[in-house]
Amino acid sequence: MATLTHNKTDLGLDNGMKAALIISVIVHISVFVGSVVGLPFIKKDIPNIVAIPITIEMINTAEKTQTSAKPKNTPQRPKMVKETPPDLTPSPPDEKLKEPEPVPIPDPIKKPKPPIKKENPKEKIKPKPKKEVTKKEPPKPKKDFSSVLKNLTPDAVDKPAPPRMLTNNAEEGQDATVTLKMSISELEAIQRTIYPCWNIPSGAKYAESLQVKIKMFMNPDATIRDAVIVNGAFVKSDPAYRAAAESALRAVRNPRCSPLPLPMNKYKQWKTIIMNFDPSNAL
């Protein structure tokens, strides 16, 4: 009588099945671990109990010891280096037909060729401009907690808005596995740095509703590499929105408020920063 030649283990599995079982277990484990590590929504179930101060208090700038509101670098004078500027290809100006009253305008004239200018490297660099440059102190902001619009009303019906609590909490951006998180004071310092550079378009129609979201891409030295408007669809259709968006872009690009006071060792945290410019409380 022929007997079966394959071996049987105690569990009744043969070698081939054993290998398959081991591989299966390993792959299952790796999938599980990979999803725990890589998928944020699963990660969130594991509460992060690192002690982050959640108490919100209005801290005066004077009481702060760590980060300063002033930008780290004083404004630099431009280097005395001859540089070839990028090719200047401004779009040609549109000839417009204007009808100044009372005389009618003559016929349209051909568009001029767009000038492409290259700097002559031999040209002497002009002497540096004087006083205007050094006056770079951020100007005193208007009263902190009331509207920037003037109101002489003896018994104002609309009371000034209450001081706005810090809305950005440490719970934002906590998805990282990296343990070095941005602290409240570090985030506050960023906000405070940007405030004096944001020139709010205050007289626009419904100015208080013009909220702009800017996404900033940062260099490791805390200067800005690029900035884009997140809800950019409105820019083309609404000139008032475009003006508000450009004021926000100017705020983040302003050399007066750059580099931001960011902790160098937490670069991964602040590689991209989203700033919500919201004038509703200031107007």
- Scan residues 160-219 and list those touching another protein (CB under 8 A): 164, 167-168, 172-173, 175-178, 182, 187, 190-191, 194-206
Among 67, 184, 222, 269, binds another protein (CB under 8 A): 269
CB closer to another protein, 1 vs 54 = 54
Single out the segment in contact with another protein by CB under 8 A; choices: 44-52, 53-61, 66-74, 83-91: 83-91
Single out the segment in contact with another protein by CB under 8 A; choices: 44-52, 59-67, 129-137: 129-137
User: Which residues in 37-56 contact another protein (CB under 8 A)?
Assistant: 37-38, 40
C-alpha 236/C-alpha 234 separation (Å) is 6
Quick check: 250 and 168 in contact, CB under 8 A? no
C-alpha 58/C-alpha 43 separation (Å) is 32
CB closer to another protein, 63 vs 99 = 99
* 133 counts as binding another protein under rule CB under 8 A: yes
78 upstream amide cis, omega within 30 of 0: no
Total of chain residues touching another protein, rule CB under 8 A: 126
Among 1, 4, 80, 157, binds another protein (CB under 8 A): 157
Residue of 234, 227, 191 whose CA lies nearest to 211 = 234
* 123 counts as binding another protein under rule CB under 8 A: yes
Single out the segment in contact with another protein by CB under 8 A; choices: 44-52, 53-61, 62-70, 266-274: 266-274
The number of beta carbons lying within 10 Å of the beta carbon of residue 253 is 15
The number of beta carbons lying within 10 Å of the beta carbon of residue 117 is 10
C-alpha 94/C-alpha 104 separation (Å) is 19
Quick check: 251 and 192 in contact, CB under 8 A? no
Among 13, 48, 69, 255, binds another protein (CB under 8 A): 255
Quick check: 35 and 44 in contact, CB under 8 A? no
Single out the segment in contact with another protein by CB under 8 A; choices: 52-60, 66-74, 132-140: 132-140
* 244 counts as binding another protein under rule CB under 8 A: yes
Place of tokens 């013009």: 210
CB closer to another protein, 1 vs 277 = 277
- Please compute, for residue 190, the number of CA atoms within 13 A of its CA located in the half-sphere on the CB side: 20
